[in-house]
Amino acid sequence: MFKKVFIPNRGEIALRIIRSCKELGLTSIIGYSEGDKNSLPVQLADEKICIGPPSPGESYLNIPSIVSAMEITGAEAVHPGYGFLSENIPFVEICEASRIIFIGPTAENIKLMGDKSLARKTVKKNKVPVIPGYEENDYEKAFAHAKKIGFPVIIKASAGGGGRGMRIVNSPEEFKKMWETCQEEAKISFGEEKVYLEKFLERPRHIEIQILCDGKGKILVFPERDCSIQRRHQKLIEESPSPFVDEKLRKKLYRYAYRVARGINYKNAGTVEFLVNSDRIPYFIEMNTRIQVEHPITELVTGIDLVKSQILIAEGEKLKINQEDIRINCHAIECRINAEDPENDFIPSPGKIKKLILPGGPGIRIDTHIYEGYVVPPYYDSLVMKLITYGKTREEAIERMIRALNETVIEGIKTTIPLYKEIFSHPIFLSGRYSVGWLEKYLLSKNKKNQEVKK
């Protein structure tokens, strides 16, 4: 149906899409910023075109520039990857009006799930449980509801994502200040000050279900990913299957994810996210209407290429696999290697990579765009590599991750590798008993001990 795919993105996900296009015999066109002119995606794409200055607002988020670039290059389809314009409704609508195929869900799908408070209302109609809360952007009623369900509560931006626009409120006295702060952050980050309220769950697991839908009636659900190792609501380590999820809970998660997809007639790839309490009761929190950063672990566990599937669905193909074809074939773990200094409050660490040694051997996959001599720019997300290991068991995947982390050498910038070495030797992680919030408590305890030693 189409031969030329435009990729208005950067980093490892742009490279991932380029490789899928090559395997399918499609022409890949990278739309890049001036800050990425020496990047690997620009070097490996079939065609390239600059879409603006380094600033994301002038390049990767500049819809007129991207639309012009697609017209100039004769692109027939666009794969947005994740981030930037991947869930931007006006961009999807412009693509649809311009007869450029958007490789992702429909504008209506994104509309229903992009607004988190609207998403809660939508899934409740389809008998999917949500965390007790209040969906409207009304301070007085939200405050009254918070007192009714009890503190702590969490205030979230309705248009939020990526861990931004969230505030935990531990007492009634804090509520007004946190409500206003969250509204302000939501307006700055998402251009929309609407917020909503949820009960804050203590020590939950963050579990998500990958889905694929061909828009012709077939909905596939995939084994869960556990994304509970987080810092400031940002995922750092993911694994599949979860050491916490048993078969009974897995079936329940599958059922709820299926209902969400069916209820909005979803098309293409997406992820339904849940918080699961200590009693293994899941609550819907949001749906990401795009490919996820952590998609490689699902690909390894099931043997199914999700990015290639996205493209084929967009071409109008029916899914050729069935639900019974999706099995758990191994255990996989992903570490997001970020250019940050974990010993200095995780400040970004851009700069030139002076030496690079990547790990290898059985059970290792690396998704990265960096190379020796590459300069990590200061303008974008700090992710520089996804290090993924897999094995017959969780123990084998962990052993391979420890080996891979020890083999990896990245000189010239600071990375989060030292932190991951600590995590993969910690008894809480090794036992699988971690939860959302565990890592931050560990880091606080570690910082306190370091300060005491300095004294």
pLDDT tens figures, 139-175:
999 999 999 999 999 999 988 776 778 999 999 999 9
In this prediction, residues 408-429 reach a mean pLDDT of 98
Tell me the per-residue pLDDT of 173-213, one tens digit each, with 9 for 90 and over.
999 999 999 999 988 888 889 999 999 998 999 999 999 99
For the stretch 9-22, what's the b/e string if a residue is b when 16 or more beta carbons lie within 10 angstroms of its beta carbon? bbbbbbbbbbbbbe
In a domain, 114, yes or no: no
The Cα–Cα gap between 201 and 207 comes to 14
Catalytic residue among 10, 120, 231, 290: 290
Direct distance between the N- and C-terminal alpha carbons of the chain, in angstroms, rounded to an integer:
67
In this prediction, residues 294-303 reach a mean pLDDT of 98
Q: Does residue 161 sit in helix, strand or coil?
A: strand
Verify that 231 and 184 share a domain, yes or no: no
Confidence of residue 447 (pLDDT cuts 50, 70, 90): confident
Give how far the C-alpha of residue 419 lies from the chain's centroid of Cα atoms, to the nearest Å: 20
Full domain range(s) for residue 148: 132-199
Verify that 157 and 251 share a domain, yes or no: no
**What separation in angstroms does the CA of 372 have from each of 337, 349, 360?**
16, 16, 17
* pLDDT value, residue 450: 77
- Neighbour count for residue 421 (Cβ, 10 Å): 14
CB 339 within 8 A of CB 384: yes
Q: DSSP string covering 268-300, please?
A: EEEEEEEEE-TT--EEEEEEE-S--TTHHHHHH
Q: What is the CATH number of the domain that holds 170?
A: 3.30.1490.20
- Neighbour count for residue 164 (Cβ, 10 Å): 17
The Cα–Cα gap between 183 and 195 comes to 6
Length of the chain: 455
Q: Verify whether residue 327 is a known catalytic residue.
A: no
Q: Does residue 313 sit in helix, strand or coil?
A: helix
The Cα–Cα gap between 112 and 402 comes to 41
- Overall domain count for the chain: 3
pLDDT at 82 over 90: yes
Verify that 86 and 144 share a domain, yes or no: no
Question: Which amino acid belongs to residue 240?
Answer: S
Verify that 352 and 210 share a domain, yes or no: yes
Last residue of a domain, one of 148, 167, 199: 199
SS3 content of the chain, % helix, strand, coil (to 5): 40, 25, 35
Give how far the C-alpha of residue 295 lies from the chain's centroid of Cα atoms, to the nearest Å: 8
CB 275 within 8 A of CB 282: yes
* pLDDT value, residue 455: 63
CB 213 within 8 A of CB 220: yes
* pLDDT value, residue 162: 65
- Neighbour count for residue 453 (Cβ, 10 Å): 7
* pLDDT value, residue 190: 84
Q: What is the CATH number of the domain that holds 259?
A: 3.30.470.20
Q: What is the CATH number of the domain that holds 24?
A: 3.40.50.20
Percent of the chain having pLDDT more than 70?
99
Verify that 192 and 211 share a domain, yes or no: no
Q: Is the peptide bond before 152 cis (omega within 30 degrees of 0)?
A: yes
* H helix count then E strand count, the chain: 15, 24
pLDDT at 267 over 90: yes
* pLDDT value, residue 448: 78
Verify that 220 and 245 share a domain, yes or no: yes
Per the listing, tokens 């891979």 go with 404
Last residue of a domain, one of 177, 199, 221: 199
Verify that 323 and 411 share a domain, yes or no: yes
Confidence of residue 65 (pLDDT cuts 50, 70, 90): very high
Q: Does residue 137 sit in helix, strand or coil?
A: coil
Verify that 258 and 354 share a domain, yes or no: yes
Last residue of a domain, one of 199, 216, 240: 199
The Cα–Cα gap between 209 and 258 comes to 9
The Cα–Cα gap between 363 and 399 comes to 10
CB 207 within 8 A of CB 243: no
Report residue 357: phi and psi, to 5°: -125, 120
